[in-house]
Every structure is written in C-alpha cells, then in structure tokens.
Amino acid sequence: MSNQPPVTTTDAGCPVASDEFSLAVGTNGPLLLQDTYLIEKLAHFVRERVPDRVYHVKGGGAFGYFEATADVTEWTKAGFLSKVGKRTPVLIRFSSVAGEEGYPDSDRDVRGWALRFYTEEGNYDLVGNNTPVFFVRDPMKFPDFIHSQERMPDTGLRSNNMQWDFWSLSPESAHQVTVLMSDRGTPRTWRHMNGFGSDTYMWENAGGKKFWVKYHFKTEQGIQNFTDAEAKAMRAEDLDCHRRDLWDAVAGGDYPSWRLEMQIMPYEDAADYRFNPFDVTKVWPHADYPPITVGRLVLDRNPENFFAQIVQAGFDVANFVPGIGPSPDRMVLARMLAYADSSRYRTGPNYAQLPVNQPLNEVHNYNKDGPMRYRHNGNQPVYAPNSYGGPKGDLQRYRDPSWFVEAAEIMRTAYESHRDDNDFIQPGMLYRQVMTQTDRDHLVDNIVGHLSQGVERPIQERAVNDYWAKVDPDLGAHVAHGLGMPKPNKP
C-alpha cells in the first residue's frame, strides 16, 4: 500500500492544485472567479449545518445490538423478538431536551432515549425518555410546554419564572417535575440512567390477540446521579461530559448495557384499570403489572461520523414492525406525525435514504423524486395500480382497520378519567414510598433552589399551595419553609 496521501479533488472528482493557496492576481490579489475549487469550498462551508431539532438538540449516540432473552411469542409476533438469542442491530441517540448544541450536558433536564432496531421487517423506532412519564398528556399543550422551557421572547434568556408558571398551571406535570427536580434530573452519565418507552404501545401475537405494553430499559451499570452542586460544578469542568463519557466507554471496550423489562396488560383490562393506561403522566404500578425481563441492549460501536450518523439520524415514532403498534395514548398518536415531519424539514423528504436511516430490508413503494433522491427503481412503474409487477400492499397488515379505535364520538374532550386518576397520587407515591430520606431532602433543596431564581412571588405561591402541597403536605411545607412562606393549608 502506498504511503502517499490521495490527491485532493473537487466534489466532482477532478484533481485540484492546492488546499493552501487561492488563485490570485499577484501576491495581494484580487482573487479570480475561475478558482472554482475555492468557491466550492467556501460555498460548501456555509451550508454545513442542517436546521437543529427544535428540542432534544444536544445529544450523542452509539450503535450496538439488542438480544432477545425470553420467549415473548405469547404476546407479539414481532420477528426481532421471535427467538431467544436473536440479535438485532441498533442505534441509540441520547439527548437533553431544552438546551441548544453546546449547552452543558450536566444541567437539570429530562434525557431523550431514541432507539432504532434495524429489524428484518423494517426499522422499529422506540423514542422515549429516561423517565417513565411526561409533563403533558395532550399534544395540544406540547409546543406550549417546550416554549416555556426555552428562551424568553424579549431577553433571549431562559426563565425559571416561565417554567414554573407553565408547570404550576398544568397539574398533570407534577409527576414528571417531581422526577426532574430529584437527583434523577441530573444523571451522572447516559450509561447510568434507565430508559423508558414512556408512552403505552400495543403488541399483537400471531393469533391476533392484543396487549398493551410499556418498555423499561434498566441500566446494568446501576443508577448514578449528580447532586445539584456536582452538576453545577461539572458545567465549569466539561460541557460535554455525557457525550464524552459514552464515547470513551465504548472506545475503551466498556460496553454499556440495559435489561429490557416489559409491563404487559391484557387488552380488556384497559377499560376499567384504576388509572387511564394511556395517560403518559402515569405509570402502571409494578404490583399491578410486574415487569418481565425479555432482552438486553448493548452498545459496542461508536459512530464513524457524528454528523452523518447522529445529527442526521431521523427517528420516527410511526416506524412500527408487524406485531407492534400504537395505543390510543394521544401523545403517541400526535408523535406519529411529528417525527417524520421534523426530518422532512431538517434533512428533506428523502431523509430515509441516508445510510443511517435506511432499513436493512428493501424499500418498495411509489414515492419518487424530490431533493437529493438517489434510490430509484429504474424504469419500474411509478404508479399503482399497474400492469407491470409493481409492489402491492398486504391487506393482512390491516385486517382490523380500526386497530384500537373503538367507535367513539370525535370531539375535543378532556382525557377520560379512571377510578384513581388524579394528577397528584403518583408523584405522592414516589415521594412517600419510593424515595429515601436523602432523595427527599435533595428534592426539597432542588425545588427551593430552582424556585428561588427569578420566579415571581405569586407563581411561587401557586407552586407551593396548588402543586407541591397537593403532591404531599409535608413536601409542600418544606418547600414553603425554604422560600420563607407560611405553611400551606391542608389541601
């Protein structure tokens, strides 16, 4: 093999003279229009960015595999889960939600967990977070929620006031905010946190029997979090601590892994389960639906190119494989539109042709043309029906065209309440039954610290009296004390 480096070329492959000297008239210019390589280089440079994601901007990721470790054919016919020991290649992208590219990884935030299974039946994307619940249950409120976490329209600064105003007027956020304000809001690394599908999905077995399911990926590294003080100190030390940690661990052969545990609910249980099982602000308590271990996720390969494989990765909640589908969870239904729409905006209508987004199996359909298209079917028909052997849909896929939608009136309505539905029951369970005394102490300190930074008094009062005191009277009293406010009345 020659040690000579290759000769530089234009993007069209034509050899060029220099990457050092532009073509000038004399030593001090002017420069010449016919230096087309300089023009190509500068023109390409100013087009290096694609629009950022609107949220979940800062992230990192890795490749690896998922291995099925239990027989789940009783519940799903999904091919990649069909045999114990079967391995499926995966891509994962972790992220923070609110900050832009360059924001400190250690800041308090929820972390995104976008997982793609490259299955033989197409890409299956499971896009969740490191928490089992979410801030809102209706997609109508989603853009407002994100706006409240971003920057002020006038100052361009982030605002705790705006965040608490939205949260304290949205009681359904209390469960997620309790987790966010605990030390789980500042994970030490992406490796030391759990991942959740968060929303409820459907599994269907080969006999057509359906089940409602929730995905929990439990870290095999153990949970590790920063305290609030450690997270703030890390801002000064390393803005990219999470991205760096994942890269270093994988590069060093210390492959992180997670155990996939499923909660599985018989289809018929949903109607009168004590919580609305399609409300993403609620969990299914483990005692009701004990988690079943079904597989293991291992990350063992770093990307070769961060932009091509992580920035341009376009996950899509609507990417389901046979045996897995959505549930009536309104957030899932809206997300099935929004993700592909975001990729079409960011990287164009042919984003699915990028190598990182391509499925393993062949794609057959009648989509054509559009910017940057390179996959094509030669002279194959570009319309259906046709007489020339073009692809045909499989009606079996939709033999039950309603999937899950029971006959119902179409209307704008509040989420259907079930017997124990109440926005404060589950965060109260977390506070009283699950957290240690240290967890509770840190939660109070973190809430008081956050509410003390630029939050107006009436919003602080609402956060204490209409929010934390309802999660737990003792918690409300501690937060009130920390803010120098009178003890809240018993809710």
Contacts of 197 (CB under 8 A, 6+ apart): 126, 128, 214, 215, 216
Contacts of 198 (CB under 8 A, 6+ apart): 128, 129, 131, 132, 133, 134, 280
The residue within the footprint of ligand NDP, chosen from 99, 104, 112, 132 (CB under 6 A), is 132
Please count the other Cβ atoms lying within 10 Å of the Cβ belonging to residue 152.
11
The residue within the footprint of ligand NDP, chosen from 83, 286, 419, 487 (CB under 6 A), is 286
Segment 219-258, which members bind ligand NDP (CB under 6 A)?
Answer: 223
Does residue 281 contact residue 422 with C-beta atoms inside 8 Å?
no
The residue within the footprint of ligand NDP, chosen from 231, 283, 299, 459 (CB under 6 A), is 283
Does position 119 interact with ligand NDP (CB under 6 A)? The reply is: no
Does position 426 interact with ligand NDP (CB under 6 A)? The reply is: yes
Contacts of 405 (CB under 8 A, 6+ apart): 328
How many Å apart are CA 352 and CA 370, to the nearest integer?
12
The residue within the footprint of ligand NDP, chosen from 177, 179, 239, 313 (CB under 6 A), is 179
Helices marked H in 296-406: 306, 330-347
Does position 194 interact with ligand NDP (CB under 6 A)? The reply is: yes
Which SS3 state, helix, strand or coil, does residue 468 take? helix
Does position 435 interact with ligand NDP (CB under 6 A)? The reply is: yes
Does position 97 interact with ligand NDP (CB under 6 A)? The reply is: no
Does residue 164 contact residue 157 with C-beta atoms inside 8 Å?
no
Toward ligand NDP, which CB reaches closer, 286 or 364?
A: 286
Nearest approach in angstroms of CB 387 to ligand NDP is 53
Region from 177-185, 342-350, 361-369, 384-392 binding ligand NDP, contact rule CB under 6 A = 177-185
Toward ligand NDP, which CB reaches closer, 171 or 381?
A: 171
Toward ligand NDP, which CB reaches closer, 287 or 408?
A: 287
Region from 285-293, 317-325, 369-377, 467-475 binding ligand NDP, contact rule CB under 6 A = 285-293
Nearest approach in angstroms of CB 266 to ligand NDP is 17
Q: Catalytic residue at 276?
A: no
Does position 460 interact with ligand NDP (CB under 6 A)? The reply is: no
Does position 376 interact with ligand NDP (CB under 6 A)? The reply is: no
Catalytic residue among 123, 129, 357, 446: 129
Nearest approach in angstroms of CB 296 to ligand NDP is 15
- With CB under 6 A, what is the number of residues at the site for ligand NDP? 19
Does residue 233 contact residue 268 with C-beta atoms inside 8 Å?
no
How many Å apart are CA 233 and CA 123, to the nearest integer?
40
Nearest approach in angstroms of CB 91 to ligand NDP is 24
Q: What is the DSSP letter of 237?
A: H
Beta-bridge partner residues of 124 = 117
How many Å apart are CA 66 and CA 86, to the nearest integer?
8
Contacts of 187 (CB under 8 A, 6+ apart): 111, 130, 193, 224, 225, 226, 242
Q: Catalytic residue at 56?
A: yes
How many Å apart are CA 340 and CA 345, to the nearest integer?
9
Does position 260 interact with ligand NDP (CB under 6 A)? The reply is: no
Nearest to 479 by CA among 450, 456, 437, 439: 450
Does position 391 interact with ligand NDP (CB under 6 A)? The reply is: no
Toward ligand NDP, which CB reaches closer, 136 or 435?
A: 435
Please count the other Cβ atoms lying within 10 Å of the Cβ belonging to residue 151.
14
Does position 40 interact with ligand NDP (CB under 6 A)? The reply is: no
The residue within the footprint of ligand NDP, chosen from 439, 461, 466, 474 (CB under 6 A), is 439
The residue whose two tokens read 């609910």 is 265
Tokens found for residue 30: 């002017």
The residue within the footprint of ligand NDP, chosen from 434, 457, 489, 490 (CB under 6 A), is 434
Catalytic residues: 56, 129
Q: Interface residues with ligand NDP (CB under 6 A)? A: 132, 179, 182, 184, 194, 218, 223, 283-287, 426, 429-430, 433-435, 439
